[in-house]
């Protein structure tokens, strides 16, 4: 029988809340800048692309869904152009099988991205090779890059136009803050494009 207790659960949740409080203090201005960048692109006919691995792949899909559907079904609005580069299993497996996994996101950015688009690259370490490659390819095409990372930013710090680095080195707490940031960025974009 495990000695893991209710107190252990409570401490994990409180640490998560503390990371979100630090994120609110340190990243709110950056999140607003990200929202303005995305809104400007969408207003000009651009789109938002997102990529990441594992939990960050799930976050990419989650955030893209909020843009295309709506953050709040009680506040309907037109769909916003967003695309998770993590969802096409036929492409991902074909390209990875033939050329390796490091280029799977870069290839999609090269094929689908257009100048004026925005790419969000998500990596808790900031060092995911395929995300870094996608961000470098995006900037070469005139696509602005937002990086969502953990503390320090890793290699993405130099590959992004805007770095939002959650002040933690604990993967689960970084990911929890990433999805919170995704929600508030979506909320801000909605309000910038369709002010009430």
What CATH number should be reported for the domain holding residue 75? Answer: 3.40.50.10490
Q: Kindly state whether residue 1 falls inside one of the protein's structural domains.
A: no
Q: Kindly state whether residue 159 falls inside one of the protein's structural domains.
A: yes
Q: How many domains does the chain have?
A: 1
Q: Kindly state whether residue 79 falls inside one of the protein's structural domains.
A: yes
Residue 164: domain span: 6-193
Mean pLDDT computed over 136-158? 98
Helix 89-99 × helix 104-112 angle, to 10°? 120
Q: Kindly state whether residue 175 falls inside one of the protein's structural domains.
A: yes
Is residue 103 predicted with pLDDT exceeding 70? Answer: yes
Q: Kindly state whether residue 62 falls inside one of the protein's structural domains.
A: yes
Is residue 189 predicted with pLDDT exceeding 90? Answer: yes
Q: Kindly state whether residue 174 falls inside one of the protein's structural domains.
A: yes
Confidence of residue 7 (pLDDT cuts 50, 70, 90): very high
Q: Kindly state whether residue 143 falls inside one of the protein's structural domains.
A: yes
Contact 130, 105 (CB under 8 A): yes
Token pair in block for residue 186: 């979506």
Mean pLDDT of the chain: 96
Distance in angstroms (rounded) separating the CA atoms of residues 120 and 130: 13
Mean pLDDT computed over 100-115? 98
User: What contacts 189, CB < 8 A, 6 or more positions away?
Assistant: 35, 38, 39, 42, 67, 80
Kindly tell me the burial class for residue 79, based on how many C-beta atoms sit within 10 Å of its own C-beta (0-12, 13-18, 19 or more): exposed
Q: Is 2 helix (H, G, I), strand (E, B) or coil?
A: coil
């Amino acid at each position: 029988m495990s000695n893991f207790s209710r107190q252990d659960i409570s401490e994990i949740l409180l640490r998560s809340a503390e990371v979100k409080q630090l994120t609110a203090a340190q990243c709110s201005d950056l999140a607003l800048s990200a929202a303005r960048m995305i809104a400007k692109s969408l207003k000009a006919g651009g789109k938002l692309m997102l990529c990441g691995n594992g939990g960050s792949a799930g976050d990419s899909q989650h955030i893209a869904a909020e843009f295309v559907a709506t953050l709040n079904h009680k506040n309907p609005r037109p769909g916003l152009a967003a695309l998770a580069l993590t969802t096409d299993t036929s492409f991902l497996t074909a390209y990875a099988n033939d050329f390796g996994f490091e280029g799977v996101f870069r290839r999609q950015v090269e094929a689908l991205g257009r100048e004026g688009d925005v790419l969000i690259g998500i990596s808790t370490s900031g060092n995911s090779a395929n995300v870094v490659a996608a961000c470098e390819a995006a900037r070469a095409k005139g696509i602005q890059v937002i990086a969502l990372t953990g503390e320090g930013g890793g290699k993405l710090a130099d590959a992004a136009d805007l770095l939002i680095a959650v002040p933690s080195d604990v993967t689960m707490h970084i990911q929890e803050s990433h999805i919170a940031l995704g929600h508030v960025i979506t909320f801000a974009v909605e309000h910038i494009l369709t002010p009430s």
